[in-house]
Amino acid sequence: MSDLIHLELTARQRELLLRGLRYVRSSRMLEIREIPDTIAEERASELTEIGQLVAMLDHKAGAAAVS
């Protein structure tokens, strides 16, 4: 991730973003069809990235709540 964007989000904005990310993650996980290995690898990579972003947002919110 060389292109970083710093955002200041309200608690509501963060929750909306997390909800959307969780929706996208579950949507990608629930796709039922035969897919080539390359697409399966791409989907796994996307799911990993989404999981990392969710974790990052959760961590930032926890750190902000402590401050």
Q: What is the pTM of this model?
A: 0.62
CA distance 64 to 1: 23
- Does residue 52 form part of some domain? yes
Angle, helices 37-66 vs 11-29, to 10°: value is 160
Q: Kindly give, in sequence order, each residue whose CB lies less than 8 Å from that of residue 50, ignoring residues fewer than 6 positions away.
A: 21, 24, 25, 28
Q: Is 16 inside a domain boundary? A: no
Query: 14-50: per-residue pLDDT in tens?
Result: 888 899 998 998 888 887 777 788 888 888 898 899 8
Range(s) of the domain holding residue 52: 37-67
What is the number of domains present in the chain? 1
Whether 12 is in a domain gets the answer no
Which is more confidently placed, 67 or 64?
64
